A = this chain, B = another copy of it.
Amino acid sequence: MAKDLANKKRRVHFEPDNVDIAVEQGANLLETAIQAGARIYASCGGAGVCGTCKVLIEKGEVETTRTEKLSDEEYEQGLRQACQSRIITDLAVHIPVESRLETAVLARERKGMATGDQQLEALATGWRFNPPLSKFFVELPPPTLQDNVSDLSRVLRGLKQRYKLRNMTVDFDVVKKLPQALRDSDWKVTVTTLLTAIEPQAPERRRPRVINVEPGDARERHYSLAFDIGTTTVCGQLLDLNRGRTVAEGMDYNRQISYGADVITRIAYCQRPGGLQKLQQAVVTTINGIIKQLLRRSRIDTQHVGHLTVAGNTTMIQILLGLDPKYIRLSPYTPVATYIPLVKANSLGIKVGEHVYLFTFPLVASYVGGDIISGIVASGVHQRERLTFYMDIGTNGEIVVGNSDWMVTAACSAGPAFEGGGVKHGMVATNGAIEEFDINPSNLEPVVGTIGGERPKGICGSGLINIVAGLLEAGVISQNGKFNTDLPTKRIREGSDGYEYVLTEAPETQIGKDIVITETDIDNLIRAKAAMYAGCQTLVKSVGITCHDIEQVIIAGAFGSQINVEKAITIGLLPELPLNRFIFIGNGSLLGTRLTSFSTDMLDDARRLAKVMTNFELSENAAFMNNYVAALFLPHTNADEFPSVAGRLTKLADNQSKQGVAA
């Protein structure tokens, strides 16, 4: 059979993307969808174990290996796991809502979040507007027999005389363009220079690099790009370096998401033949799409963009640069480099001018990437004496503790619960995800609210926190996360995975099934929050303080932005501190790339920070393991860590036992 499949072309049509592609008969359907540019989500990267890439075969025939992720009912409806299917005939394929990536919800912003320019400035202060990318206009005397120095010498002399610039490094490409540029414009040219981050030990060694020359006075068109490369989403900004403002902002899902939801799956995918190249191409395609969008919207030509600054976690950055992330996953978790030399952006396939360099934020360790340094710089933690927690909560959470004098950091592997992974009805935070949750204490009936107000499809991570906190405060679950099965409600029932609580019944959902939260789900959340909190504790104890000494908590990241602080404290994810000590900065990484595009001083701060920050490796740390076990409770086994929550829960328990007595 396999023999017959070769060399026959089949056409596949994908809806609702409305894209067509012709491929070899026998091709994998998931790979084909990715290739066609259809928006499809494959959490496990095509291993067949997650069930997120289910598609409806509307016309034609596929050959599928069935897994337990596909019910008989689904199979009969015509649903197949794309990753497990080979194309036999021409196909019409529909990607159902739960397997799709919706870009519409990407731009959700927390109300009152400190991301506007004014609030931003209040966070990082005292920085000068001195962008690393500069344009200089020189009017040069034309050469004569008495003064026939080389074209390059003439330009450098002009820059020295007019702008006191010296000790320049010149790109060879500039030398190539120079004779024409000078003579096309009557010896008046604009020179673009780039300052790179200093060597902390040797700031005096910095040499401006001449990266471009344009005929005439081209100072007016002077732009730069700043990007955060997230595992899930990629966000970019087009910056006007003359006016110090953001011209346009755009974002999209990282197209690597079709190869796996988290960094570990992606690293695994990179080990396949051609895997690294595919993932690199996926993120480059994403970046190019955003750049195109930004330029089109602002009617700016590519050639006027002179620089590109990116930050991201270590895995994302290594893949973008074509550096195998293999050793990030293997103990002792070494990244390739903490400071990446400048590289021409177009050598990676990024569609910008030949003269544009890619500057990558310096990083600290395999799991404390440049996105964290970028966020710290953006939030000015290093500028103040105030003792600060900086947290980016997620599958791979990062924590920094410190102030202007010192800084320590650690990464916590929390598992995928915060992003809806390992949760029966878990999903990413897109339309239809249950996020709001309240419970009527009298009858234990739920009130749920979804993102986008649609009928529920599943539960996102922030929803899970709200649900567990709600169930805990209502006494529906106990502090060890188990259901109180004595309660008089049908919502609690025994399901295929043990006890569960029904959030929404089938008719009210988009998926035609009851949406429930199970004890396993709750257990996964407890383990996730325990990892984060134990990380915080381990770090603060290592410097001789406690969580209660923290004067400010900065929460970064898309997931963090959606967290309800009170509920997060209730379950023991965030330390019990006055609510006004919490600040949400959203995409701190993007903020930092923007700020360092405007300020060389801040760029220098980033380089210094990456050098001085001490990383604690928690993975085999005994203190961390003890803290972790102690945190496997709601909110914590040590009530002193969460005195108010513990007090409320004690009161509740008393009430319940009284009612139990009364009943």
Contacts and interface: CB of A to CB of B under 8 A. Distances in A.
B620 A175 contact: no
A544 to B, nearest CB: 21
Given A201-B166, A205-B167, A323-B179, A336 B145 contact: no
A442 interface: no
Given A150-B334, A332-B143, A619-B145, A175 B205 contact: no
B336 A178 contact: yes
B143 A341 contact: no
B617 A152 contact: no
Given A199-B167, A205-B167, A336-B150, A179 B326 contact: yes
A366 interface: yes
The secondary-structure label for the interface of chain A is loop
A53 to B, nearest CB: 31
A323 B181 CA distance: 13
Q: This chain: how many copies in the complex? A: 2
Interface string A117-147: 0000000000000000000000000011111
A543 interface: no
A338 to B, nearest CB: 5
Contacts of A169: 341
Contacts of A183: 327
Contact of A172 (B154, B179, B342): B342
Interface string A271-293: 00000000000000000000000
Interface in A347-393: 365-366
A145 to B, nearest CB: 5
Interface centre among A151, A167, A171, A365 (most CB of B within 10 A): A151
A148 interface: yes
Contacts of A323: 175-176, 179
Interface in A171-199: 171-172, 175-176, 178-179, 183, 199
A331 B201 CA distance: 48
Contacts of A620: 145
B145 A332 contact: yes
A93 B339 CA distance: 61
Contacts of A365: 148
A523 B321 CA distance: 66
A343 interface: yes
Given A167-B201, A169-B341, A207-B205, A334 B619 contact: no
Interface of A: 143-154, 166-167, 169-172, 175-176, 178-179, 183, 199, 201-202, 205, 207, 321-324, 326-327, 331-343, 365-366, 617, 619-620
Q: Which 5 A-B pairs have the closest CB atoms?
A: A152-B337, A148-B332, A172-B343, A150-B338, A145-B332
